[in-house]
Structure 1
Amino acid sequence: MPLKNSKILLLFFLISYLGISQNKEFKDTVNSTQNEYVHFYKNRLITRIYYVNTSNSLTVNHENSGKSLDFNANKQSRIGASVAFRKLAISYSYAPEFISTNKNNESSKLFNLNLRGFYKRRWMQTIKVYNEKGFYAKNTVQSIYLPNTESFKIGGSTSYIFNDNFSYRALASQNERQLKNAGSFIPGVTYYYSNYHLNTEGKLDENNLKRKYNSYDLLLSPSYFYNYVPNKNILISGGSTLGLGVNYSTSENNNITTLITELGFSGTVTYDLTNLYIGSHFNYLILKHNTNRSLYVKDDIPYFQFFVGYRFKASKKLVKTAEDFNEKIIPIIPNI
């Protein structure tokens, strides 16, 4: 625990050095506004501390018996900190034992990574990784811990934002600020690879299951988001996604291709005081697909984040380094 805490302290010492040690001759361009709808914090160091609760839970139904099992990951809650400047971000988080959902079954693990990058404002790329070991299996009569049950999921989406007056960064990373109400249709392509190892042998009296399978998803995922600005300090954002595509699964030498549906909801509330901001973000993703003739899986991924952040004025040295970096590297870099 002391080592983990020291890493977070080191991160904020880095914030202090890069953001506060400034050259007085440097002219800050933070007040530049792209248009009357969006304010861009070009030379601000965006920092935040946050609490995250997320998991990749599964519901497995045996079509022949009509019985089902719910698989839920053990460790779900984390705290962390991040530093972002323009298109570069650094973050660190961990699951502390003092949070109640993390106390039991120390052998379990949960790793979650969310990256988002922008190219020429309209193109948006997301990458998500979930790796979990140690699940609770629940049916109508009992809940049993399964240390050998694992899941791994990696994927993301490529999207196009139609409306320049709509700022997705204002709700996702707070390095922009929505000044007036605006919404946008955002079509995209979503793709995931998943690997599941379900093992309940010796743990349940019935519905025992031991199975490994791989799953590949490809969907067209149109969405719509709207940023509502009731006053200069508050941003309320909401959006939904409805996708349809194809799933290809392999399990014990049995391959099958089926349709897959995607349903997603998200909402964000942010209270902003120029440089200090506080808010929360919620997202829920549901993927439904058949993996083979006798097994049906519903894949649920809830995500909740509460955050507090501050925008520091960047030093002249940091600004020059970023500009030199952008000249040499194609700017498709994670933004959060």
Structure 2
Amino acid sequence: MKHCLVFLNVWILFSTHSLAQEAEHDSSYYQTYPSKLTGRYYLSRKYTGLGLETESNKLLYMPNSTLNMGVGVTYQNLTLNLAYGFGFINPERGRGDSRYLDLQVHAYPKNWVIDVFGQFYNGYYLQRHHPTTPDLETTLFPDTKLRKVGASVQYLFNGDKFSYRAAFLQNEWQQRSAGSLLVGMEVYGGQIRNQKGILPTSLSQTSDLRQIKYMEWGPNIGYAYSLVLKKHFFITLSAASGLAVGRTSLHVANGNGERNWAVRPNYFLRGFTGYNSDRWSVNVTYVYNQVNLAPVSGYKVNIGTGNYRFNLVYRFSPGPKLSKRLEWIDRTKRKLLGR
């Protein structure tokens, strides 16, 4: 597979706020495992798509990102995942080659939800066109480049009873249903460009669009709830929306451009479901973030970033030798807390 890429995901997060309050949660709602390792086998795919709408057309561009198979481990607030897009799970479908660096951090300290994005994609194909035109169904745009950098930080009001880490990282176990209000801020910026034209040939006759730049920021609010059935089966859903003030500028082939300021809604959706217990967890997770840009000259543009994953998880206690090697984490924790 020419488009199969090595995927390396390393997430290291130390939150002194989370560590200091770790023992203060309500253990009748969820359990923590500070001395255990959480190992996982998983399948995952990340992507960032581009939606572009005019008065008569709706286009959806997608990268040919790979389905990755990997393993990972979590110990306290440290997570390491390694994955690879093997050819036998990524058959050729005529979608071209995509080169990308997809950096997504979804961190869940006890009372915070932190999401950081660094999306650097080269190479797209036209997945959907409306009205449907057969000759556009497999159009490739190997020179299209998309960049998105941003972050969302939210405060989780009910971290004593509700655990995001139980659903996403599986290093905790939510045993009773609970929910929480979320309030925070977000900021995003980036660009889409293709010096050969962003639009299909049949549409570029009216506007030879070459580049889109954007920047926006604003507050957001949401709610998360975990429904737990018979202590082990869970469905966790979270939705947040924000009103962002943003500026978008469009540039065509001759260098001319137009820009516009607007207030636009963004949204952030998360879904987790599966089985959890003291040792084992089997679950499916999905995280999706959509940034809607300020419309310019009749163009409505959105950028959707997704991450879905299947996890098979096993928690275990490290042996004596490994425990000694992990002692540096506890020493670092005590230093951060001044103990």
**Normalised by the shorter chain, which TM-score bucket?**
0.7 to 0.9
1:108 aligns with 2:98: yes
Distance, in Å, in 1 between the alignment partners of 2:330 and 2:162 is 25
Distance, in Å, in 1 between the alignment partners of 2:197 and 2:211 is 13
1:279 aligns with 2:274: no
Deviation at residue 300 of structure 1 after TM alignment: 2.6
Deviation at residue 239 of structure 1 after TM alignment: 1.7
Distance, in Å, in 1 between the alignment partners of 2:111 and 2:162 is 10
Distance, in Å, in 2 between the alignment partners of 1:325 and 1:199 is 49
Contact 1:248 1:255 in 2 (8 A): yes
* Matching residue within 52, 62, 65 for 2:54: 62
1:193 aligns with 2:189: yes
Q: Secondary structure at the match of 1:75?
A: coil
Distance, in Å, in 1 between the alignment partners of 2:54 and 2:259 is 18
Distance, in Å, in 1 between the alignment partners of 2:67 and 2:324 is 36
* Matching residue within 161, 168, 171 for 1:165: 161
Distance, in Å, in 1 between the alignment partners of 2:267 and 2:296 is 21
Number of equivalences: 305
Q: Secondary structure at the match of 2:73?
A: strand
What does residue 247 of structure 2 align with? Answer: 248
Deviation at residue 173 of structure 1 after TM alignment: 0.7
Deviations 1:294-320 (A, max 9, x none): 422022333321111111213431442
Task: Single out whichever of 301-310 and 38-47 deviates more from structure 2.
Answer: 301-310
Distance, in Å, in 1 between the alignment partners of 2:143 and 2:6 is 32
What does residue 268 of structure 1 align with? Answer: 272
Contact 1:217 1:260 in 2 (8 A): no
* Matching residue within 72, 91, 96 for 2:86: 96
* Matching residue within 114, 126, 130 for 1:125: 114
Deviations 1:261-320 (A, max 9, x none): 113332211212421211001233333232522422022333321111111213431442
Task: Single out whichever of 250-259 and 303-312 deviates more from structure 2.
Answer: 250-259
Distance, in Å, in 2 between the alignment partners of 1:40 and 1:232 is 15
What does residue 229 of structure 1 align with? Answer: 228
Deviations 1:30-75 (A, max 9, x none): x998521121111111121211233221221234xx3343211122
TM-score by length of 2: 0.79
What does residue 218 of structure 1 align with? Answer: 217
Task: Single out whichever of 177-186 and 306-315 deviates more from structure 2.
Answer: 306-315
**Corresponding letter in the other structure for 1:300:** G
Deviations 1:55-101 (A, max 9, x none): 221221234xx334321112242222222211111122232222346
**Corresponding letter in the other structure for 1:113:** L
**Corresponding letter in the other structure for 1:130:** Q
Distance, in Å, in 2 between the alignment partners of 1:293 and 1:95 is 40
Contact 2:198 2:209 in 1 (8 A): no
Q: Secondary structure at the match of 1:232?
A: coil
Check 1:249–1:89 CA distance in 2 against 1; reply closer, same or farther (3 A cut).
same
Task: Single out whichever of 277-286 and 103-112 deviates more from structure 2.
Answer: 103-112
Deviation at residue 243 of structure 1 after TM alignment: 1.6
Check 1:227–1:102 CA distance in 2 against 1; reply closer, same or farther (3 A cut).
farther
Deviations 1:198-254 (A, max 9, x none): 455499441124422321121322111111111122122112112211112244454
Q: Secondary structure at the match of 2:87?
A: coil
CA RMSD, 1 decimal? 3.2
Distance, in Å, in 1 between the alignment partners of 2:170 and 2:191 is 34
Contact 1:75 1:102 in 2 (8 A): no
Q: Secondary structure at the match of 2:332?
A: helix
Deviation at residue 5 of structure 1 after TM alignment: 12
* Matching residue within 32, 40, 51 for 1:40: 32
1:311 aligns with 2:300: no
Q: Secondary structure at the match of 1:304?
A: strand
Deviations 1:130-155 (A, max 9, x none): 22211112432122011101112122
**Structure 1 unaligned spans of 5+:** 12-30, 332-336
Contact 1:225 1:240 in 2 (8 A): yes
Task: Single out whichever of 43-52 and 247-256 deviates more from structure 2.
Answer: 247-256
**Structure 2 unaligned spans of 5+:** 11-22, 252-256
Distance, in Å, in 2 between the alignment partners of 1:147 and 1:52 is 24
What does residue 49 of structure 1 align with? Answer: 41
Contact 2:245 2:262 in 1 (8 A): yes
Distance, in Å, in 1 between the alignment partners of 2:198 and 2:185 is 41
